[in-house]
Structure 1
Amino acid sequence: MTLVRVIARPLTASSFAFSGVDRLRSAGKSAEQLQPVLTRLGKAVPSLAPVTADAKRVAQVLGGVQLGAGILLGLGRFSRVAGTLLAVSAAANTLVDFKSADSSTPAARKERRGQLLRNLSLVGAALLASVDTNGRPGLAWRAEHFASGAKKNAVGISKDARKQLKKADLAVRRTAADVVGS
């Protein structure tokens, strides 16, 4: 692991972990802030109504996710999964914080905008962590190079087998693209 990763991951993770602890400690206050967003979400997607009905539980889950994923990211374990979870939870927190912030005075609007930009920068950091392969090739790269290596080794195979190999190559590429999302 490079020195930048050794320093950057715990620094990024610390903000999420402490935010998760705060959400768990003050789940009631977090639930009050979450309630308007959850109400709108419950109306927009009726199948989520049972989940959005208990705002305190949602606040506790968000806090737990942030704490757990923050610790994992800080330790460098399952950092891509942790980064993805942190990006999703940070996006939800950003929305809730923006909606519940005071905007009655120009100074309050300026503070609200500053908090929004800080939260968005944390979302960006979590997204970067979610795609960081730590210098190792990702699944898509491995699958593509496995398929091209197999194709090179199959030079002496019959015409029928070559067609099957092309189909397999195409299937591997599609699967890798689906997994990576490109």
Structure 2
Amino acid sequence: MDLLRTVARPALAAPFIADGIDALARPKRHADKFERVQPWLEKAGVPPVLHSDAELLTRVSGAVSVAAGLGLATGRAPRTCATVLAVLNVPLALVNNPVWAVESQDERKEALSGLMRSAAVGAGLALSAVDREGRPSLAWRWNNRRRLREAIAAAQAQVRAEYEPVVPARTAAASR
């Protein structure tokens, strides 16, 4: 792993690890944030969640966030962990920065700024999710292997055609 990945992955994962640990230790604060935006989510079609379910959802989200964050930070399945964190980032960004739910202009600017920061982190996670560390994609490797097999088969056919002995018709008739 090169220096950039060694530094960038833990830096990208750190907020998710810290927030996940906080959600596991103190789920009530996170559940309260969720309950503030719950009426708007219900209007959008999300099923209602009881307070106890919100705390359980917070804990599960925190555990997933910690596990995926540690995986990304340590380089264990980094593409999968980055994908999980990118997907998890969307609802967290909406719950933590409810631009539509705040009323004062200053709070709206702060929520919008937080939403844009979350979008930037999500974009970084998306880039990390598609980073193959210089290795070719599975589709390229599949096509390359197919082309190599075809080239080997063509070369073998050419060698056989050039070096197989040609049996003259008289010799074949005489050998019978």
Sort the TM-score into its range (normalised by shorter chain).
Answer: 0.7 to 0.9
Deviates more, 1:142-151 or 1:107-116: 142-151
1:5/1:94 CA distance change after superposition, 3 Å: same
Contact 1:38–1:55 under 8 Å retained in 2: no
Structure 1 counterpart of 2:167 = none
Residue 34 of structure 2 corresponds to 34
- 2: CA distance, partners of 1:45 / 1:110: 26
TM-superposed CA distance for 1:120, in Å, is 0.8
Q: 1:37 to 1:125 in 2, by over 3 A?
A: farther
**Match of residue 162 from structure 1:** none
Aligned length: 153
Work out which of the two has the higher radius of gyration on C-alpha atoms and give 1 or 2. Answer: 2
Look up the equivalent residue of 2:131 and give its one-letter code: D
**Alpha-carbon shift at residue 25 of structure 1 (Å):** 2.0
Where 1:62 maps in the other structure, the secondary structure is helix
* Cα RMSD (Å): 2.7
Task: Please list every run of 5 or more consecutive structure 2 residues that lacks an aligned counterpart in the other structure.
Answer: 158-176
CA offset digits 1:133-178 (Å, max 9, x no partner): 11222222211211222222232799xxxxxxxxxxxxxxxxxxxx
- Contact 2:20-2:65 at 8 Å conserved across structures: yes
In the TM superposition, what are the counterparts of 1:78-117 in structure 2 within 5 Å? 78-99=77-98, 103-117=102-116
- Structure 1 unaligned regions, length at least 5: 159-182
- Within-5 A mapping of 1:1-182: 1-35=1-35, 36=38, 40=42, 44=45, 54-99=53-98, 103-155=102-154
Partners of 2:102 and 2:73 lie apart in 1 by 34
Match of 1:172 in 2: none
Residues 133 and 84 of structure 1: is their aligned pair in 2 closer, same or farther, counting only changes over 3 Å?
same
* Percent identical: 31
Structure showing the higher helix proportion among its residues: 1
